[in-house]
Structure 1
Amino acid sequence: MSNPACPSGHPRIARRTAIQAGRIGLLGLGMNHLTGLHALAGQPGSDTPPAARPQFKACIYIFLSGGLGQHDSFDMKPSAPAEIRGEFRPISTATPGTQICEHLPGLALRSNLWSLCRSLGHSTNDHSAGHHMMLTGRSDLPPGFNPSAPRPQDWPSIAAVAGSVTAARNNLPLAAVLPEQLVHYSGRIIPGQYAGVMGHRRNPWFIEASPFHATSYGAFPGYKFDHQDRGNPDRRLFEAPSLSLSHGLTHPHLSRRVSLLSNLEQQCAKLEFAAAAERFDQYRQGAISLLTDPKVRGALDVTRAEDSVQDRYGRNSFGWSLLMARRLVEAGVNLVQVNLGNDETWDTHGNAFPHLRDSLFPPTDKALSALFDDLAESGLLEHTLIVMAGEFGRTPKITLLPSHYKYPGRDHWGPVQSVFLAGGGVQGGRVVGATDDIGAYPITDPQRPENLAATIYNALNIPATMSWQDEVGRPHHVYSGEPIPGLV
């Protein structure tokens, strides 16, 4: 018997089927992505021989939300007074004359693969403004900028721009962000991550593999910590991305998507009409297969990778995230932003040295070293730019806030930070720029967020004349600066 709400010219769609199909859209994917995702399903380990892989240009943008202290990592000042130099000591790298923190031994051994820019800065010490500047590559905040929430008037993120103007290698999304969106412990969403004036349809693909936890930071489960020891238990699991809603998807754009699906059971006729327009019938079985085929889940479920691979990267959220980034780049995603830790994980106002030494540097050093080894061995490092930065650096002088922390740390510092770069044509063993004796300000080759964004765009082979369009069709230049000189 025909359903009066669903004309006989179209097959009936069960509620479960409709919801499953709708979840693909909630993930940020359209039906046109199915073919690419099935291709990804066929290479869960991405072990295709290098000679068989097509040439491409890609970028992995590792973002250290909270801000890594330059004095304690890549621009150490061992001759400065104790209140400046801190507790850590420098070690020599494989590059003569270049030293970094003693707690990054894996990176020190591989310095022939990476370079540093020690002179990038901007004008703010505010977390939200700094996020917006470093994630969009724009030093100028948009008119009416709201540090408490993203707005449609924000500048588009580097990921959103790259996802809009780079060439597709298959049907996969061109830009992705993992393993979670950046959410403040209060629950507010950090601005700068989205497409802004480009329109929400240009948002990058947000892969939610790590559930939100308000007060726990670091590479869980083995390296988690709380900045202020508030005693809130953290029982998170790092899981393959779910095709359902997770915490943090409260951005108005996503809320509108949810509202469109809220009454699916009563809207069969409307769904069938949309199905005809979108050739839904042609892809329906593919959509269901995407949701149920274990190969698809296995492609992104890095917690089920070979034991030897997980051991090299680290069985924690940092290791799994960089492993997932490598697989996505190999599979066809042009830019992958990896948030190493949720919002403000690297915000070391207090207890800085034990947190860096015990909880942050070990998993970062191990996972990044494994990523270098894999990309270099496969020949893909030449085609993949790796960038690591935060929203700002940290103050030269160590401070103590005894009401919150037992041990000292450093506060926010916008004027300078050290940016780590490798691959994608960047020559290893180079250092661009220098800071003064206390690591407070650049004294040579000052750089801005615009220069970092241009470095990424250039590595992706985006022409200097390329533009992107906002939601009403007005063109905007992709480049707002020149690539950082001296790296290539």
Structure 2
Amino acid sequence: MDRRDFLKLAGSCGLMLGLDNRPAQSQNNFPGPFWVSIFAEGGWDPTCLFDPKGQPINSYGAGEIRQEGVFSYAPYKGPARNVWNPVTQQEDGQDFYDRFFQKYKNDLLIVRGIDMGTFSHETGRAYALAGNLGQSWPAFPAMAVACTRPDLPMAYMSQGNYPETGGLVAATRIGSVQGFITNLQRTSEPNLVHPGGNDRFMNDDLWNGIIRPAMNARTKNLSSSSSSTPQSRRASILHAVRTSPGSLGGLNQFLPEGGLTDWGNPLFAQIELMTAAFKAGVAGGASVQLSSFDTHENHDQWHYPMCDDLLRAIDYLIHRLDLLGLREQVTIVVSSEFGRTPLYDNGSSGYNDKMGKDHHPISGMMLMGRGVKGGRLVGGTDDKVLPLKVNPATLALDDVDGIILRPEMIHLALRRFAGIETNPLLNAFVLDAPLLPILEGANKGSS
């Protein structure tokens, strides 16, 4: 298979390869750090998850609110369900809310009462993922990787409705995960008629003695070119796939032995690919999304299962990172573009006439992993789901000297922790916000 056929195949499965200007190399010794953004697309309802409010805002009573450590959380009020759990390798029921907070109460940092300042999906998406209200700035994982390891073959992986990189680093867009893997197999072993099979186009002596050396020499020459043309950059990644078993062509060895988990939760396969790319040393950051949180109708029926799926995906991500020995090197940020309406004008219910909930600008974030001191709750909301002020020095609730939390404050802390706050690459993306001690090292000078 030549380069043109590979690119056609990549496009047919929804994959777009992003390449840095430098030749791609095997980076299977890359130790991290890694950056992950998980986005709840559509606007989640924090009061149905980590900022619980009883009736009349929700269908549950105040007495049903649960507690684990410093975290109060909502009860699961959606329909009964049996869903596949790839961690336990069996189906289980709707009690995952409890298990999640029991399991991660000492690892989680939850920030409540973040003012998104918008009812717009597009604007809120950019604000949550990039820290900027009004422009499509790079998502934080893209910024972090662009400033630290843009030379990785798939430096930034992106799945979802926010592929923005600001031109800092090219995004590897993931559509079908299985299609992505299949095309990597076809490209790394182009003499096989079918990926993983035994049938060959040419006998091994001819292929290994003449064709492969000539093909590798050609792509190496193109990828080593001093120019930064699209042809040289694409040849760079093709050369890495074909010649570096620890690079893109080696992703398979870090995927689950039984194959991709391509049923149930759509994030499972994305997580398997993402973590395999981290372990193979070919990617440094990723953004994924779970859709369908925009529940304008039948809120409880649809929203609680989505929140349940989100928690299961986070749990599976931690599980995969543990298996691959990467957990201590990954920072995870979970967010959404805004929240859902707490009360309508009559004050009698948080639901509209279709038993749905509409857009509300107050949201929150969950953080875990490297740099995150867990077991902490920052911020809050009142009984009308309006934000409470936070002291910028202590992070304690402070109605006198406090400030309203906004996404750029979290992003500035992330940049400081990543050591990229003053990187010249970000001169066009400067944040105007106070620096809060949200993360380890976020109140210290940049490295």
Shorter-chain TM range is 0.5 to 0.7
Matched residue of 2:38: which SS? strand
Does residue 1:193 correspond to 2:163, yes or no? Answer: yes
Residues 465 and 477 in structure 1, CA contact (< 8 A), matched pair in contact too: no
Matched residue of 2:181: which SS? coil
Alignment of 1:1-150 (within 5 A): 17-20=2-5, 22=7, 26-29=16-19, 32=22, 34-36=24-26, 55-78=31-54, 82-87=55-60, 89-93=64-68, 95-96=69-70, 98-102=72-76, 103-109=96-102, 110-139=104-133, 141-142=134-135
Matched residue of 2:303: which SS? helix
Partner Cα separation in structure 1 for residue 41 and residue 438 of structure 2: 26
Does residue 1:420 correspond to 2:371, yes or no? Answer: no
Partner Cα separation in structure 1 for residue 352 and residue 312 of structure 2: 30
Partner Cα separation in structure 1 for residue 227 and residue 433 of structure 2: 40
Alignment of 1:189-338 (within 5 A): 193-195=163-165, 198-199=166-167, 202-209=169-176, 240=181, 242=183, 287=238, 290=241, 296=248, 299=251, 305-307=256-258, 316-330=265-279, 331-338=281-288
Residues 113 and 387 in structure 2, CA contact (< 8 A), matched pair in contact too: yes
Alignment of 1:337-356 (within 5 A): 337-341=287-291, 345-356=292-303
Matched residue of 1:388: which SS? strand
Aligned AA for 1:306?
Answer: E
Matched residue of 2:428: which SS? strand
Identity %: 21
Q: Once the 2 structures are TM-superposed, how far is the Cα of residue 320 of structure 1 from its aligned partner? A: 1.5
Aligned AA for 1:370?
Answer: Y
Residues 159 and 335 in structure 1, CA contact (< 8 A), matched pair in contact too: yes
Partner Cα separation in structure 2 for residue 122 and residue 128 of structure 1: 12
The Cα offsets for residues 186-222 of structure 1, whole Å up to 9 and x where unpaired, read as: xxxxxx5323xx44x7342222226xxxxxxxxxxxx
Partner Cα separation in structure 2 for residue 130 and residue 391 of structure 1: 4
Q: Once the 2 structures are TM-superposed, how far is the Cα of residue 362 of structure 1 from its aligned partner? A: 3.5
Q: Once the 2 structures are TM-superposed, how far is the Cα of residue 322 of structure 1 from its aligned partner? A: 2.2
Q: Once the 2 structures are TM-superposed, how far is the Cα of residue 124 of structure 1 from its aligned partner? A: 0.8
What is aligned with 2:137?
155
Residues 111 and 366 in structure 2, CA contact (< 8 A), matched pair in contact too: yes
Q: Once the 2 structures are TM-superposed, how far is the Cα of residue 425 of structure 1 from its aligned partner? A: 1.5
Matched residue of 1:465: which SS? coil
Does residue 1:454 correspond to 2:409, yes or no? Answer: no
Aligned AA for 2:73?
Answer: Q
Residues 174 and 333 in structure 1, CA contact (< 8 A), matched pair in contact too: yes
Q: Once the 2 structures are TM-superposed, how far is the Cα of residue 129 of structure 1 from its aligned partner? A: 1.4
Structure 1 residues 378 and 157, CA gap change in structure 2 (3 angstroms): closer
The Cα offsets for residues 288-310 of structure 1, whole Å up to 9 and x where unpaired, read as: 783799995672698x6224x96
What is aligned with 1:232?
none
Q: How much is the aligned-residue C-alpha RMSD, in angstroms?
A: 4.0
Aligned AA for 1:66?
Answer: G
Partner Cα separation in structure 2 for residue 289 and residue 477 of structure 1: 32
Partner Cα separation in structure 2 for residue 384 and residue 75 of structure 1: 25
Gapped runs of 5+ residues in structure 1?
1-15, 41-52, 143-153, 183-191, 211-236, 244-271, 403-407, 470-474
Partner Cα separation in structure 2 for residue 99 and residue 323 of structure 1: 28
Structure 1 residues 31 and 165, CA gap change in structure 2 (3 angstroms): closer
What is aligned with 1:219?
none
Q: Once the 2 structures are TM-superposed, how far is the Cα of residue 64 of structure 1 from its aligned partner? A: 0.9
Partner Cα separation in structure 1 for residue 299 and residue 317 of structure 2: 26
The Cα offsets for residues 47-82 of structure 1, whole Å up to 9 and x where unpaired, read as: xxxxxx66432211101111110110110023xxx2
Gapped runs of 5+ residues in structure 2?
77-95, 185-220, 344-349, 392-403, 441-447
The Cα offsets for residues 82-114 of structure 1, whole Å up to 9 and x where unpaired, read as: 230334843222x25543544523321221111
Q: Once the 2 structures are TM-superposed, how far is the Cα of residue 131 of structure 1 from its aligned partner? A: 1.4
Aligned length: 356
Residues 24 and 236 in structure 2, CA contact (< 8 A), matched pair in contact too: no
Matched residue of 1:112: which SS? coil
The Cα offsets for residues 390-441 of structure 1, whole Å up to 9 and x where unpaired, read as: 0111111222344xxxxx1211111x21210111221111000011123233
Partner Cα separation in structure 2 for residue 239 and residue 281 of structure 1: 21
What is aligned with 1:263?
none
Matched residue of 1:444: which SS? coil
Q: Give the TM-score normalised by structure 1.
A: 0.62
Aligned AA for 1:106?
Answer: R
Alignment of 1:403-418 (within 5 A): 408-414=355-361, 416-418=362-364
Q: Once the 2 structures are TM-superposed, how far is the Cα of residue 125 of structure 1 from its aligned partner? A: 0.5
Matched residue of 1:476: which SS? coil
What is aligned with 2:85?
none
